[in-house]
Chains A and B, each alone.
Chain A
Amino acid sequence: MTAIASSPQLATHTRKRPVDWTGIALWIALAVTALLWFLPLFLMFMTSVKSKADLNTSAMWALPGTWEWGNYADALDVGNFWVTAGNSLLIAAIKVPLGLAIAAACAFALARIRFRGARSLMLLIAIGSMVPIQIGLGPLFNTMLNLDLLDSKFGLILPYLAFGIPYQIFVLYGFFRGIPHELEESARIDGSGTFRIFWQIILPLAKPALAALFVLDFVATWNEYAMATTLLRSQSNWTIPLAVQGFSTQHGTDYGPLNAFIFMSAIPVLIVYLLFQRYFVQGALAGAVKG
C-alpha cells in the first residue's frame, strides 16, 4: 500500500508523457493489492475442490491431486442447501420489496407532506437506523415469544423490516427533498391527488436510489446472522448464515464442503450485485452526500 501512498499523482489525470513511470508504479501497486484481495477467494476455491486427504497433505495453494467436485454435492446435502437457500430467498423476496415500499411511503410523507412533528419523527427514525441490533436482541426475543412467532421464518420478517426501513427512510428522505417542487405543483394543478403524486411522479424519479437500496437490502437480508440465530431454532427454518455455522460441529469442520457451500451461497448476492451494479455507485451516496 505504501507504493500507492507515495504517489501523489494518483489524485489527478496523468499527463501524456513518453513513459509514465508514476502511472506504471501506481498500476503495479494496485494490481498487487488486487491479487492480495483475490488470494483468499482463490484459496477458498482450491479448498472447495480438494478431498480431505488432499487437504491434509498438500499446501493450501496447490492444485488438487484429484478434483473433488463431490464436495459440492456433499455441501448441498450437509448444509441442506435447497431448504436453507429457499428460506433465505423467500424471506428476501418478501422482505426487500415490502420494506422498500413501506420505507418509500414513509419517506414521502415526511419529506413532501407538511405536518406537525415530521422533523422530530425523521430524527427519531434516523437515529434508529444507526443503532446496533444487538442492543435490543434480548427483549426482541421476548417480544417474538409473546407473539408466538419464535422459530418462524415469516415471523423473522417483522424485525427484519423494522431494522431495514430506518436507513432506507433516511436515504429516500434526502432524495425526495431534492426533487423540485414545480413538478408536484403542476401535477396538483392538473388535479392529481397525493397518492398519484407519490406513485407517478416521486417514485419514478427515485429509481436510482431505490435500486441501490434494493441491492444493499437484498445483500444485508441474505447475510443476516445475529437476529436469525436468536430467533430461529429448527433446522427446517434455517437461513444460509445459520447453515454455514452448522458446518462446524464438535467433530470439527469439514472444510471442503464448507467452502463449496460458501461459494454456492454467495451466487444469488453476486447476481443481484452484478445486475444492479450500474445504479449502485450512483445511488450509494444519493441520500447522504449533499451539494
Chain B
Amino acid sequence: MTTVNIITQGRRKRRPFGSQGVGTAAPYIIPALLLYGWFLLYPMLDSIRLSFYQWSGFRTETPTWVGLDNYKRLFTEDAVFPTALLNSVIWVVLSLILPTVIALLMALGLNQKIIGRNVMRAIFYIPAVFASITVAAMWRWIYNPTLGFVNQLLEAVGLESWTQSWLGDPKFALASIFVANIWQAVGFSMVLFLAGLQTVPEELMEAAKLDGANAWQRFRAVTVPALRPTTVVVIILTIINSLKVFDLVVGMTGGGPAQSTQVLALWSYTQSFTNHQFGMGGAVATVLLIVTLAIVIPYMAWSLKGEDK
C-alpha cells in the first residue's frame, strides 16, 4: 500500500506551496467546471425547478407553474411513489447487510495464504465487470418460469411445489432481483476490503498473538479498528449505488409486476419519459436528491475535514 503511505507522510505538511491565485488555477479547472456545470449540475437543478411545473416534456408545450402541487400529488395520490420509496429504502438496508458482510467474509478468507486464492478472487470479482443490464438479462433467464435454472433445479430435487414465477409474482420479484444484485455487487466491496486488510499492522497482530489473544479477540482489537476507514468507504459507496439502482430493475422487471419493484430512480424516469409528466418526474428526482444529500454531505464533511487538521 505505497499509496496510503504517501498520503500519511504528506499530511504532515498541509498548506500547498506557493500562492499563485485564481489566474494560475483557471486553465486547469475550467474544462472540468464547464462540463460539470453544464451537463451535471444544471440538469440536477433544472429537475428541482421542473418539479414546480406541469410539463409534458414536448417542446411545443410551455411548462405551467403549479407550485407544490406535484409534491402534494406525490404524497397523496401517487400510488406508486410510496412503493418506490419503500423499495429504495429496503434496497439500501439490505445492501448494507448482505453483500457487505459477504464481501467482508470473502476478503478475510482470501487474505489468508490459501490454495487457489487468485482464482477465487477472480471468480468473485468477475460479475462486477459485467454491465448491470447484461446481468439482468442473464438472471431473467435463470428465473425463467419454465426453462430457467431455479425452477428446473427445484423440480429435479422434488420440490415442484416451491417453483414460482420468480419475477412475475409481486411477493418474490424484488427479492429475486436482489439476489442478482448480491451476485454482482460483492466483488467490488471485496476488493476494497482486501485493500483495507493490507493496512492491518502486522506487528500489532504479532504482539496480540504473543499476549495470548485468541483469534476472535485479535479480530476485534486489531483488524476491526484498522478496517474502519475502509468500512466507511464501502458503506457510503454501497448506499450511493443502492440509491442509483436502475439497470437491474429495468432489465429484469421494468418495475413490474404491478409496479411492485419500482424504485425511486426508475419511477422518476418512468414519470418523465413514459408518462410524459416531467414535473412529477422532477418531484421524484428531488426527493431522491434530498435522500442522497442527507447521506453524502455528512460523509463529505468527515472526509474533507481530515485535510485541515
List residues of chain A with CB under 8 Å of any chain B CB.
1, 4-5, 8-14, 23, 26-27, 29-31, 33-34, 37-38, 40-41, 43-44, 47, 55-56, 59-61, 102-103, 105-106, 108-119, 121-128, 130-143, 145, 158-159, 161-163, 165-166, 169, 174-175, 177-181, 184-185, 188, 194, 198, 205, 208-209, 219, 222-226, 230, 240-241, 244-245, 247-248, 253, 255, 258-259, 262, 265-266, 269-270, 273, 280-286, 288-291
Contact = CB atoms under 8 A, between A and B. Distances in A.
Contact of B133 (A47, A145, A181, A245): A245
Contacts of B32: 102-103, 105-106, 125, 165, 169
A38 B300 CA distance: 37
Given A181-B17, A194-B24, A132 B265 contact: yes
A165 B40 CA distance: 10
Interface of B: 1-11, 13-22, 24-25, 27-29, 31-33, 35-36, 38-44, 46-47, 50, 57, 59, 102, 105-106, 108-116, 119-120, 123-127, 129-134, 137-142, 144, 147-149, 152-153, 156, 183, 191-192, 194-196, 199, 205, 209, 214-216, 218-219, 223, 229-230, 233, 236, 240, 243-244, 246-247, 250-251, 265-266, 268-269, 272-273, 278, 281-282, 285-286, 288-289, 292-293, 296-297, 300, 303-304, 306-307
A121 B41 CA distance: 13
A118 B32 CA distance: 14
A102 B137 contact: no
3 pairs of A and B residues whose beta carbons are closest in the complex:
A291-B8, A136-B43, A223-B131
B285 A136 contact: yes
Contacts of A248: 137
A138 to B, nearest CB: 4
Nearest to B271: A138
A61 B306 contact: no
Nearest to B156: A59
A213 B214 CA distance: 39
Contacts of A265: 131, 134
Contacts of A290: 4, 7-8, 11, 229, 306
A105 B29 contact: yes
B46 A136 contact: yes
Contacts of B195: 281-282, 284-285, 289
Nearest to B146: A56
B230 A130 contact: no
A174 B106 contact: no
A111 B223 CA distance: 31
Contacts of A47: 141
Given A60-B148, A132-B288, 9 more contacts: A12-B209, A30-B114, A106-B29, A128-B40, A128-B41, A130-B300, A136-B285, A169-B32, A289-B233
